Structure 1
Amino acid sequence: MDALIASYGDATSDSDTDVSTPTQAPTNFQGFSNPLPPPPLFLLNPPNSLGTMEYLQIGQANRVRSFPHVEGNYALHVYIPVYIPSTPKKELALFLKKVTSLVPGLHVVDVDVPLNSLCKDDHKLEQVALGREFHISLGRTVPIRVHQIDSVVAMLRQKLQFQKRYFIDFSKWEVFVNDDHTRTFLSMEVITGGLAEITRQIQAVNEVYKLHNLPEFYKDPRPHISLAWASGDISDSLKRVVEEEMKRFNVRGSLQKCIFSSKFSGIECKIGQKTHKICKIQDE
């Protein structure tokens, strides 16, 4: 893409050119003074891209850090990676489209693309909103100092070194709000299968946090993955829409007791931009 733009010039350069001042071609290339034609639009916006307008909208939603950035601090996040299987994606996409049509301002978590810009194309919606890696948090995302990194990683590995495989059942749509009420999240919660195992893992992470004087996780943790977010606290309106849509899906028999299941595949710890593998899976 960069090569294309470099060859043809900036796509917006035409509007910046002073047409009253003719440009003179270099002496050695007078026979080729005609400029290259503009590239086809489909080359600048490939079929698998989100399109120019959607990318421009990514930065328009204001997200607020949960803690201020301080030089020398690194954000610590301990989590279980989760991928949504292909089978339930169409049903989930249908649910997201309906909720998005009733609640404006929802964005895809992490990617920060407006959901309503994806709802026109089912493939893009499934790919961007449902096809990425999701996270079940096992601890708060907190800042740590560089001298704490090795100790935190070593202790997490010691506490969580060997884990058995188990299935995680996502059984309920839920709405969460962050601590300072600056963001609302549309999530899927674990309330049955896998809850006991995840709770034990959270307790182990809490022990490591406590030894490093870091804030522990919520007293009554509710493991979940978040699919979308909106600015501010819109939990009341979003929850009403979600509950109403869940009733409609249940009436049609579309929504099962378990929305989807995922096999536990390990625990990771991201510190700054580096990801550390924490545990090995112990086969039974």
Structure 2
Amino acid sequence: MDALMANYASGSDDDDDDDEPATVADGASGPPQEASALLPPPPLDLLQSPNFVDYSTIPQGSRIRSFPHVEGNYALHVYIPVVIPFNARKHLTLVMRRVASLVPDLYAVDADYALSELCKDEQKLEKVLLGREFHVSLGRTVGIQVHQIDSLVAMLRQKFQSQQRYWMDLNKWEHFVNDDSTRSFLSLEVTRTGLPEISKQIHMVDEVYRLHGLPEFYKNPRPHISLAWALGDVSSKLKQATKEIEKFENSINLSKNYNLRCNFSRILCKVGKKVYDICKIGD
């Protein structure tokens, strides 16, 4: 089964306010304070933007590394970035709420917040899960050494310098389990439009991997994006959930007003926390 290994990346920019309040010199007398200066500060919610999401109230899941950390090695991931079209998000909101009731231990991919909690607030579900960038993997996530980075990125750029734009349809709900059965995924698979093009791109990445002594992709690749994950092998639950999703979509005659179709325009390569542009097709 296809393994989708999530990348860890975090950062914060906490700026400390070092400005000290003004003081009056000893012995100096100043005018009495105005009454307005003694009023309490406004409520915090008045200082927050209308789109503010309080992440501290959402439970997070803990993941197990897919391969051991080795000093001097960096995680490599080559992928197509995917953003879910706005017109598909309302439908996916309904689907994810239904899935959360069937499989309560799911978490949002990469964000790692509990899906059941996100589904309680449409704004949180939209912002944390559906409004983020997903990816279609073109190669295994593996560890590489620092001296391989420049060569690998250069070869990938050369391979993909003549790519053209194409459409991909994420048309089938599917479940996957990673190689060591530590995590299961609920995914949307590409089975028709876009599959030949993505399969060819996977083959091109394999050629570069092979030259660097890296393991190639799976023999029968199944391109997909993953939206949620659970600890361990929960194939039976997710298989039943995908059947329920299909019944739900058929019951609301989805085909007339819903199509999760995305435009290929870019390939990225992430090495550690650094992201390299491999190819980018202009508008």
- TM-score of the two chains, using structure 1 as the length reference: 0.82
Q: Is the 8 A contact 2:76 2:141 kept in 1?
A: yes
| Aligned position for 1:42 | 45
Q: Is the 8 A contact 2:99 2:241 kept in 1?
A: yes
| Aligned position for 2:104 | 104
CA distance in 1, matches of 2:126, 2:66: 29
TM-fit CA distance, 1:53? 4.0
Q: Is the 8 A contact 2:88 2:258 kept in 1?
A: no
What do the CA deviations read for 1:151-199 (whole angstroms, capped 9, x no partner)? 1001111111110110011110110111111111110000000000000
Give the structure with the larger helix fraction: 1
CA distance in 1, matches of 2:160, 2:16: 48
RMSD: 3.1
CA distance in 2, matches of 1:197, 1:108: 28
Q: Is the 8 A contact 1:160 1:278 kept in 2?
A: yes
What do the CA deviations read for 1:95-116 (whole angstroms, capped 9, x no partner)? 0001101211111111111111
CA distance in 2, matches of 1:6, 1:52: 27
CA distance in 1, matches of 2:218, 2:166: 23
* Runs of 4 or more above 6 Å deviation: 1-7
Q: Is the 8 A contact 1:184 1:229 kept in 2?
A: yes
Q: Is the 8 A contact 1:162 1:282 kept in 2?
A: no
Within a 5 Å distance, the mapping from 1:238-253 to structure 2 comes to 238-253=238-253
Within a 5 Å distance, the mapping from 1:73-92 to structure 2 comes to 73-92=73-92
Percent identical: 57
Change over 3 Å in CA distance of 1:38–1:231 after alignment to 2: farther
TM-fit CA distance, 1:122? 1.5
Q: Is the 8 A contact 2:169 2:193 kept in 1?
A: yes
What do the CA deviations read for 1:104-157 (whole angstroms, capped 9, x no partner)? 111111111111111122222122211111100000000100000001001111
Q: Which runs of 5+ in 1 are unaligned?
A: 8-26
Change over 3 Å in CA distance of 1:218–1:184 after alignment to 2: same
Give the length in aligned residue pairs: 262
Change over 3 Å in CA distance of 1:5–1:105 after alignment to 2: farther
1:204 aligns with 2:207: no
